[in-house]
Amino acid sequence: MDLVNLLLILLITLGVCGLFLFPLLRDTARGKGRWGINLKSVNCPRCGESVPQIRTPTSIRQAAWGGWTCVRCGCEIDKWGAEIPQGKLNT
């Protein structure tokens, strides 16, 4: 392969990686959204119960995007510690 083809492959690879890295870094920095990573501990916004670090998902949404169901009050919590309104549980 010549240098032009290698550069083209590199640019395409970086572009594809950027499509996934940008939302991950953006949501992690702002502390909300589906794509970020939250390494901080979270408490239930209703009752203040601390959620476990190792979670057991109770829905497909929790398995895919993170979050918990409070064992004390049953509140659905996203990975950032915000309550998920009842109408948005299935989205």
Mean pLDDT of 58-83: 89
Band of residue 31 on the pLDDT scale cut at 50, 70, 90:
confident
Band of residue 44 on the pLDDT scale cut at 50, 70, 90:
very high
Overall pTM surpassing 0.75 (yes/no): no
Band of residue 5 on the pLDDT scale cut at 50, 70, 90:
confident
Q: Is the pLDDT of residue 1 over 80?
A: no
3-state helix/strand/coil string of 2-56: CHHHHHHHHHHHHHHHHHHHHHHHHHHHHCCCCCCCCCCCCECCCCCCECCCCCC
The pLDDT tens digits for 72-88 are 998 999 999 899 887 66
Question: Given this model, what pLDDT does residue 88 score?
Answer: 63
List the Cα angle 55/25/70 in 5-degree steps: 20
